[in-house]
Structure 1
């Protein structure tokens, strides 16, 4: 059975003049991303799959280059679409994100609805795993918001920010079978 790790990108270079999907890792983010290659599971990973957003691709590249494993980009694994607002100052972003998670069937300020983002990430992970040999462990690199939505699905829990990571550069492990069999598992984020 395939087991997987979902790793979120660590710290980014925030630039209000650059579209959020094009933000890259900061120096601190690159240093933290490099730690992933030394985690206990790292040597077993056979492929790395990331969203197409720069910060996720850079996280994947850091891991894949160190361990010399195949890396693939799947654009539909992107973070929840927040292009309607673009960059928001941190306090305003957190307030909007709270509403996003609290009312998953409502679009907040034009953002993609949480339920739609959850369906997209779950379907995307399932689709990606169809092309991976069953015994090959996979590392997914992506984003905290959709990672939390994936985690909620895997646990069979309602969408809630209570399951959100405490900071970027966190990960959790799951089995491929859990995508269709959510039976109240308890998952937790672990920081790099």
Structure 2
């Protein structure tokens, strides 16, 4: 079977109140998702799965309309920040030298109440279930950058969590047989060619 693993589109920076912890998409994010949907609509997919976090659900809904599938939510496709009180844009953490970003690079996920072995085990078990359910088929999964790193890193034998930095709606392809799994591509973004991603990190005052 072939697994196409898509990162969600750009989340809304203006989200306020409870939505700060679980934002939907920005206007730019909806455009990114629409472009991914148009590109992927040329392929035949047997199923579409999504993380339950709203940024992924919104992305999957847009893609689902284009490929003719209703997204199926799977709790264990959620990012390692699923229980956080606010969503953190990692580009902001990086530009502000936030200690949480430095810890993340050291595989320390304690700021999000988990650790890399537990996170990777959860994610990999969910992908195992999806793969086992779809022999010989092509399946879409909409999830998160950390999820992609955890699963793909396990495939290639990486010792660290972060092996790449997927763009918003960037996707990877994995060929998964009964006994062997092969990474075919990583962070494909042909649908965003010529599109200004507009990602601008926000520097906090005094940083």
Aligned partners of 2:180 and 2:137: how far apart in 1?
A: 20
1:5, distance to aligned residue in structure 2 (A): 0.6
Contact in 1 for aligned 2:78/2:143 (Cα 8 Å): yes
Paired residues of 1:85 and 1:110 also in contact (CA < 8 A)? no
State whether structure 2 residue 27 is matched by structure 1 residue 27.
yes
Equivalent positions of 1:98-177 (< 5 A) are 98-103=102-107, 106-132=108-134, 134-165=135-166, 167-177=167-177
Q: Is 1:80 paired with 2:80? A: yes
How many Å separate the matches in 2 of 1:4 and 1:151?
11
Compute the TM-score of the two structures, normalised by the length of structure 1: 0.81
Q: Which 10-residue stretch deviates more, 94-103 or 52-61? A: 94-103
Larger-Rg structure? 2
- 1:10 is paired with a residue whose SS is coil
Between 81-90 and 70-79, report the one with greater CA deviation.
81-90
Question: Structure 1 CA distance, aligned partners of 2:115 and 2:84?
Answer: 12
Contact 1:82 1:112 in 2 (8 A): no
- For structure 2, the 5+ residue unaligned runs are 193-207
The residue that corresponds to 1:60 in the other structure is: 60
Q: Give the Å deviation of 1:98.
A: 4.0
Q: CA deviation at 1:101?
A: 4.1
Q: Distance in 2 between matches of 1:117 and 1:39?
A: 30
Q: CA deviation at 1:136?
A: 1.6
The farther-off stretch of 10-19 and 89-98 is 89-98
Give 1:123 shift: 0.6
User: Alignment length, in residue pairs?
Assistant: 185
CA contact (8 A) 1:155 1:186 kept: no
In 2: Cα distance, 1:110 partner to 1:141 partner: 21
Deviation by residue 1:51-88 (Cα, 9 ceiling, x = unmatched): 11111111111111112124211111100036356345
- The runs of 5 or more residues in structure 1 that have no matched partner are none
CA separation in 2, counterparts of 1:155 and 1:21? Answer: 32
1:107 Cα offset (Å): 4.2
